[in-house]
Amino acid sequence: MRISNIEANPGEHAFGYLEVAESRSGLGPDIPVHVFSGAEPGPTLLVQGAIHGGEIIGSVAILNLIGKLDPKKFRGTVIAVPVVNRVGFELGERGIRIGSTDISRLFPGSATGSVPAQIAHTYFEEVIKRADVMIDFHAGARTAYERYVLFGAEKDPDNPTELELRRRKIVLAFGLDQAGYFPPGTFGAGTAKEAIEDAGCCQITLEFGGGTGWYKNGKDNVSDAERGIWNIMKSMRMMEGDFESDGPLCTVYKAGIVIWKGDVDGLFIRQRRFGDEMKEGDVYASLVDAYTGETIDTMVAPEDGIVIPSGKEWPTIGATSVGILGNIDRVEDRRTTDVYGDFD
């Protein structure tokens, strides 16, 4: 496979930087790309980390994978991008300083637009469109998140498309015990995800821990993130081997009920935990003055729902979403479900 000037022949590993755009300041946000071309033809898997610069659990897992992956021992192609957003990564920021933009919201991008739009366009055309499956790793930066698989809602669950059926298998094969989706038109659903899947790429997003005390709290997350990549390769029939997981069951949540914090700043104290059932008007969290202890504001459930996987702890924060409610859509059993997809 060849991506721009990066080419790997069968059984080879190639590395280079994808030239995407350049700002007037001369800051070059070129993207590091590893291409592993398997010994035999087959599907293409893209694994990427740090499209939000401060979210590095996936980056470490991908680097671990790169150190172990032998292209002579699998079929198909693996494209590994440990850091998509170099500028944000090097500055420890979520977005890209050039334009203060979140690249992940811009796909398919624009060849003639802003620098972030050009980055999104080149990456979309050169990398994403070549992939059959895309694993997009996210995590908390200073905030620790629950572990879960996030995927796009199906347009008609009773009549899923071929891509949606593949995605069901990928979600389950990854190995976590929690997954969720946002219905169309709600928080977390957007045109960028639609553009990726319209290009024929089956995408899942992973939220994987993070927060302070990263090494102590992150070792298991890194290990399980890497485990999930190997599982997906087996699901895509790129290699053989046993699946490993959190357990036989995966609970799938229908998300979409978002609890928002207002414009007032302060210390966020969450009073509810994952799995708690809430009624409309129940207090989810409070905002206190970090210097006096005075309660500034309270955040309540806008409607009935279950607290589903989201951030665990927040220190002082600005205006943002602070919680997600939803309902259990279904429980999948890996013991009775086929997790092998046809990607050839």
**Is residue 333 included in any domain, yes or no?**
no
What SS3 class is residue 256?
strand
**Residue 264 shares a structural domain with residue 219:** no
Spatial distance between the Cα atoms of 279 and 283, rounded to a whole number of angstroms: 9
Tell me which of 195, 226, 247 is where a domain ends. 247
pLDDT in tens, 59-83: 999 999 999 999 999 999 999 999 9
**Residue 76 shares a structural domain with residue 154:** yes
**Residue 271 shares a structural domain with residue 229:** no
Verify cis geometry, omega within 30 degrees of 0, for the bond prior to 302.
no
**Residue 241 shares a structural domain with residue 276:** no
Q: Quote the longest CA-to-CA distance of the chain.
A: 65
**Residue 223 shares a structural domain with residue 316:** no
CATH number for the domain harbouring residue 265: 2.40.50.100
Spatial distance between the Cα atoms of 227 and 217, rounded to a whole number of angstroms: 17
Q: What is the residue-level pLDDT of the chain in tens, covering all 344 positions?
A: 999 999 999 999 999 999 987 665 555 589 999 999 999 999 999 999 989 888 888 999 999 999 999 999 999 999 999 999 988 888 777 777 666 578 888 899 999 888 888 889 999 999 999 999 999 998 876 666 778 899 988 888 889 999 999 999 999 999 999 999 988 767 666 678 889 999 999 999 998 876 655 555 567 888 999 999 999 999 999 999 999 999 999 999 998 888 888 777 788 888 888 889 999 999 998 888 888 999 998 999 999 999 986 655 555 556 677 888 999 999 999 999 999 988 87
**Is residue 335 included in any domain, yes or no?**
no
Spatial distance between the Cα atoms of 126 and 117, rounded to a whole number of angstroms: 14
Burial of 291 (0-12, 13-18, 19+ CB in 10 A): exposed
**Residue 89 shares a structural domain with residue 167:** yes
**Residue 94 shares a structural domain with residue 64:** yes
Tell me which of 196, 225, 247 is where a domain ends. 247
**Is residue 312 included in any domain, yes or no?**
yes
CA-wise closest residue to 307 among 323, 331, 330: 323
Spatial distance between the Cα atoms of 264 and 296, rounded to a whole number of angstroms: 8
Pairing of strands 75-81, 31-37: antiparallel
pLDDT for res 215: 55
Pairing of strands 249-260, 277-278: unpaired
**Residue 240 shares a structural domain with residue 263:** no
Outline where DSSP puts E strands in 49-100. 75-81
pLDDT for res 306: 94
CA-wise closest residue to 56 among 220, 216, 211: 211
**Is residue 210 included in any domain, yes or no?**
yes
Q: Which residues contact 23 (CB under 8 A, 6 or more apart)?
A: 29, 98, 115
Query: Is 253 within 8 Å of 329 (Cβ atoms)?
Result: yes
DSSP state at residue 10: T
Read off the amino acid at residue 191: T
**Residue 178 shares a structural domain with residue 70:** yes
For 94-127, b/e burial (b = at least 16 CB within 10 A) is: bbbbbbebbbbebbbbeeeebbbbbbbbbbbebb
Q: Which residues contact 259 (CB under 8 A, 6 or more apart)?
A: 284, 285, 299, 300, 301, 302, 321, 322, 323, 324, 325
CA-wise closest residue to 311 among 331, 289, 287, 285: 285
Q: Which residues contact 43 (CB under 8 A, 6 or more apart)?
A: 76, 77, 132, 133, 236, 237, 238, 343, 344
CATH number for the domain harbouring residue 43: 3.40.630.10
Query: Is 51 within 8 Å of 136 (Cβ atoms)?
Result: yes
DSSP state at residue 50: -
Enclosing domain of residue 222: 2-247
